[in-house]
Amino acid sequence: MKTMRTSVFLLALVLAPIAISGAETHRGRTERLPNILFIVSDDHGWGDLPSNWDKAEIRLPTLEALAAKGVRFPNYHTVPLCGPSRACMFTGQYSTENGMWRGPGKQPLGSPGYRGIKRDVKMLSEHLAEAGYKTGAFGKWHLGSLDGEVPNDRGFDKFRGFLGGAHSYWITEKRSKIMHNREPDRTSKGHATELFTGWAEKFIRESAAGDAPFFCYLAYNAVHGPLRTDKSKPASAPEAWVKKALDRGVSFLRSDYVAILEHMDHNIGRLVELLDELDVAENTLIVFVSDNGGCTMEEGAAGGSFPGNNGPFRGGKATTYQGGLNVPFLMNWKGRLPQGMTSNDQVRHCDIFATLLDAAGITVPKMNGKNQVRGMSLMPHMLSAGKKTIPERTMIFELWGNIGLRKGDYKLWSQIGRDYSPDWNAVVAELKHTDLALFDLGKDVAEKNDLRIKLPEVYASLKTELIDHLSNINSEYPDSGSSEVPAKEKPQPKKATTNPTPKRPSQDQFFKSRDRNGDGVITLEEFIGNPKNRNVPALTKRFKKIDSNGDGKLKMDELRKQAK
């Protein structure tokens, strides 16, 4: 027994250093979790990043240096509106799935037309907060202003900025919607870009002095309107920056726009210098991205008339042409990521969610709420200097009936109108009899030549993928008492079946359920059913399309004809 005790004691002495070493290794790994500085610009077109577009007249030395010493993705895709694009980056899902199918509204949760990130969907900031990160959001939020939607409800320790989609650049006591956490901030004065940068700087200084890593989300309103495009209006940029642009030959039309972005770049430079000053640059991942494409001066342009530069691409903000989808995106991690890497692989908004979780040592979930996570981490691709390639993926974009799908070089596009979203079944019904455009972006980056007739097999395959996606979205909002989609009825109890894949009701079943008085025809009132929580205008439009003879009554043959 004495010999055994001696042996155990000696074994313990041998193992103790290993155990201590293991603990130190674990603590060291925890301490080495990277800080994250996530910067988002607003309505910043692809062509207004000089390294993307050699015809760019704009000068962004800070962003160019970050790209030159980091990784740039000129083939990055987003959804073309502020709120939905941010929701995709923060949830890893398409905007059709996470609930932010358009910008947030004022309708309360559970009411018809509600727009907001679903409550059972965990956001990036919540994951990082749970992992021990200090979290701060500064600038534009635009992901909801109701209870349960504001930054402090969604994983952020600190918030200072505005909740809506736009704000004046010059902030005064009388012209301010600035919030400090949950309360109105009436003390802040100055230029929005400088204020947001200053608040981020303070947060980074305070966080760097502690033991926990930080997640600083800095969302500028640059270069969103209001901007000066005629001489009767004041400039949104500081006059010194406007003068710099004018003095080197920038047109007056573009001068305020260019000055706003160059002023933003200068302020980002302040933060890059701060990371070096605090000796945390080698442990800080910097991500810079625009939320959506730039506005254009084309007549009737979506998103407002401002002189954005989307390079060679057609369209801009609020369109699913490439000008609305392709935007600047780069990452920089001093000493970790390759320097000067340009990846032409196709990446997308929801990859940011997965990449930042992976960088923070958090397992990327397969599901978020009741829909899958679409994003994949770009870390292996970057750390291998591109040797680990990004697999070809289908990318789907939808904004209030403006629809795009890209797979490889092929792109489907259509604008079916605003009467259907977010009733995805209605969208599907409309798409089935809609001829979409088919483009080959490898040869036709401006999306001018429709190849639908020339490539029927490609067209049919991509259209099937699009319809399958829209047909299989779980659109329910948890704990809301109703579905996200007002036009859908609540699911009825189903009889037990041995078939695990639920089938849609046949046309005969649909007709029988709607023909309530059994007279052999369906009236508009019967077609709509209970109007409460239903998208009546969309259903009315569908009814009129099916009613081929215009007599106000649907017969079974009309319904069958429409389904073909």
- DSSP symbols for 145-170: -STTTSGGGTT-SEEEEESSS---SE
Long-range (24+ apart) CB contacts under 8 A made by 340-344 are 340/68, 340/69, 340/70, 341/70, 341/71, 341/72, 341/382, 341/385, 341/386, 342/71, 342/72, 342/73, 342/74, 343/71, 343/72, 343/73, 343/75, 343/381, 343/382, 343/386, 343/390, 344/74, 344/75
Report the alpha-carbon angle 34-37-42, nearest 5. 155
- Domain shared by 376 and 407, yes or no: no
On whether residue 500 sits in a domain, the answer given is no
The pLDDT score that the predictor gives to residue 78 is 98
Q: What is the mean pLDDT of the chain?
A: 88
Rounded distance, CA 407 to CA 60, Å? 32
CATH number, position 192: 3.40.720.10
CB 378 within 8 A of CB 287: no
Residues 180 and 232 in one domain: yes
CA dihedral of 16, 17, 20, 21, whole degrees rounded to 10: -150
**Residue whose C-alpha is closest to residue 224's, from 321, 146, 295:** 295
Provide the 10 A C-beta neighbour count for residue 141.
Answer: 25
Indicate the residue among 371, 393, 415 that finishes a domain: 393
- Digit-coded pLDDT (tens) for 100-154: 999 998 888 888 788 999 999 999 999 999 999 999 999 999 999 999 999 999 9
pLDDT given at position 8: 38
Domain enclosing residue 451, as ranges: 397-471
Pair (389, 404) in one structural domain: no
* Percent of the chain with pLDDT strictly greater than 90: 75
Residue 46 has pLDDT above 60, yes or no: yes
Pair type for strands 134-140 and 179-180 = unpaired
Residue 478 included in any domain: no
CB atoms under 10 Å from CB of 296, counted, come to 24
Residues 357 and 419 in one domain: no
pLDDT above 80 for 481: no
pLDDT of 25: 31
- What average pLDDT does range 461-490 have in this prediction? 73
Which residue among 393, 426, 453 closes a domain? Answer: 393
Are residues 197 and 175 part of one domain? yes
Q: Which CATH number is 403's domain given? A: 3.30.1120.10
CA angle 200–87–286, rounded 5-degree value: 40
Same domain, 283 and 378: yes
Same domain, 382 and 442: no
- Do 304 and 424 reside in the same domain of the chain? no
Q: Do 553 and 442 reside in the same domain of the chain? A: no
Q: For residues 155-183, give the mean pLDDT.
A: 96
251 close to 259: Cβ distance less than 8 angstroms = no
- Whether 180 and 280 map to the same domain: the answer is yes
The secondary structure of 58-95, three-state, reads: CCCHHHHHHHHCCEECCCEECCCCHHHHHHHHHHCCCH
Q: What is the pLDDT of residue 411?
A: 98
Q: Would you say residue 512 lies in a domain? A: yes
Task: Establish if 5 belongs to a structural domain.
Answer: no
The stretch 449-461 carries a mean pLDDT of 98
* Residue pLDDT, tens place only, 216-268: 999 999 999 999 999 999 999 999 999 999 999 999 999 999 999 999 999 99
Alpha-carbon gap, residue 333 to 285, rounded angstroms: 5
Looking at the predicted structure, is the pLDDT value of residue 532 above 70? no
In a domain, 225, yes or no: yes
Give a yes or no: residue 536 inside a domain: yes
CA distance 250 to 48: 13
Q: Where among 393, 426, 441 does a domain terminate?
A: 393
As a whole number of angstroms, the distance between CA 320 and CA 290 comes to: 15
> Do 271 and 362 share a domain, yes or no?
yes
Beta-strand (E) ranges in 108-239? Answer: 134-140, 158-162, 170-171, 179-180, 183-184, 190-191, 214-219
Question: Mind listing the pLDDT tens digit for each residue in 196-227?
Answer: 999 999 999 999 999 999 999 999 999 999 99
Kindly state whether residues 80 and 226 are assigned to the same domain: yes
Specify the number of domains making up the chain. 3
By residue count, the chain amounts to: 564
Partners of residue 285 on adjacent β-strands: 36, 333
Instruction: Kindly report the CATH number assigned to the domain that includes residue 529.
Output: 1.10.238.10
Residue 15, domain member (yes or no): no
Region of poorest pLDDT, from 24-38, 47-61, 192-206: 24-38
Query: Using one digit for the tens of pLDDT, what is the confidence trace for 311-355?
Result: 999 999 999 999 999 999 999 999 999 999 999 999 999 999 999
Residue 441 maps to a domain: yes
